[in-house]
Chain A
Amino acid sequence: GAVVSQHPSWVICKSGTSVKIECRSLDFQATTMFWYRQFPKQSLMLMATSNEGSKATYEQGVEKDKFLINHASLTLSTLTVTSAHPEDSSFYICSARKDRVQETQYFGPGTRLLVL
Chain B
Amino acid sequence: QKEVEQNSGPLSVPEGAIASLNCTYSDRGSQSFFWYRQYSGKSPELIMFIYSNGDKEDGRFTAQLNKASQYVSLLIRDSQPSDSATYLCAVNAPTLIQGAQKLVFGQGTRLTINP
Q: In the docked arrangement, what's the CA distance between A108 and B99, Å?
A: 23
Q: In the docked arrangement, what's the CA distance between A14 and B46, Å?
A: 34
Taking CB atoms and an 8 Å cut-off, the chain B residues in 38-62 that contact chain A are 42-46, 49
**B-to-A contact residues, CB < 8 Å:** 32, 34, 36, 42-46, 49, 88, 92, 95-97, 99-108
Contact A57–B97 (Cβ < 8 Å): yes
User: Which of the residues A42, A103, A109 comes within 8 Å of B92, measured between beta carbons?
Assistant: A103
**A-to-B contact residues, CB < 8 Å:** 32, 34, 42-44, 46, 49, 51, 54, 57, 93, 100, 102-110
Contact A44–B97 (Cβ < 8 Å): no
Q: In the docked arrangement, what's the CA distance between A2 and B34, Å?
A: 16
User: Which of the residues A54, A57, A107, A109 comes within 8 Å of B95, measured between beta carbons?
Assistant: A57
Chain A residues with Cβ below 8 Å from B44 are: 44, 93, 107
Chain B residues with Cβ below 8 Å from A51 are: 97, 100
Q: In the docked arrangement, what's the CA distance between A33 and B107, Å?
A: 21
> Which 10 A/B pairs are nearest by Cβ-Cβ distance?
A110-B43, A43-B107, A107-B43, A103-B32, A44-B105, A93-B43, A57-B96, A103-B101, A107-B44, A43-B105
Chain B residues with Cβ below 8 Å from A57 are: 95-97
Contact B88–A44 (Cβ < 8 Å): yes
If A42-B107, A51-B100, A57-B97 touch, whether A110 touches B42 (CB-CB below 8 Å) is yes
Q: Who on chain B is nearest to A107 by CB? A: B43
Chain A residues with Cβ below 8 Å from B104 are: 46
Contact B88–A32 (Cβ < 8 Å): no
Chain B residues with Cβ below 8 Å from A42 are: 107
Contact B43–A109 (Cβ < 8 Å): yes
Given contacts A43-B106, A102-B49, 11 further A-B contacts (CB under 8 A): A42-B107, A43-B88, A43-B108, A46-B104, A49-B97, A51-B97, A100-B99, A103-B92, A106-B46, A107-B44, A109-B42
Chain B residues with Cβ below 8 Å from A106 are: 46
